[in-house]
Amino acid sequence: MRLLNGARTMKEILTTVTQRGQVTLPAEVRRLLGIKPRDKVAFTIEEGRVGLRPAAFTLRTAFGSVTPQHHPEDFEAIAQQAKAEHVERVLKEMERSAR
């Protein structure tokens, strides 16, 4: 614990930065923040101080986290096909009712 003016104000835990700029979050920090493997974290910077918190789940943070099973559909082609099938059904119904 670091003591400032005789009062307990914060705990300091040291860790090493790798050549790739990575650090291991100490177990105590992970427990305190509820961070599990593969979770995202957010760094906040305010008035020269850096903070760490679990990342909030939003559509933006979730985007790309799941690989699609299929390539995106061609919605224009699907719409054209649906319209053509609808026209065929309507024409058949009109032919039946005209008899």
CATH code where residue 88 lies = 2.10.260.10
Q: Is 65 helix (H, G, I), strand (E, B) or coil?
A: coil
Q: What mean pLDDT comes out for the span 50-75?
A: 80
Question: Sign (positive/negative) of CA torsion 75, 76, 82, 83?
Answer: positive
Task: Give the CB-side neighbour count of residue 29, counting CA atoms within 13 A.
Answer: 16
Token pair, residue 61, equals 């943070």
Judged against a pLDDT cut of 60, whether residue 4 lies above it is answered with: no
Higher pLDDT, 91 or 64: 91
Which residues, 6 or more positions from 16, have their beta carbon under 8 angstroms from its beta carbon? 23, 24
Instruction: Quote the domain boundaries for residue 67.
Output: 2-98
Domain count, the chain: 1
Higher pLDDT, 73 or 50: 50
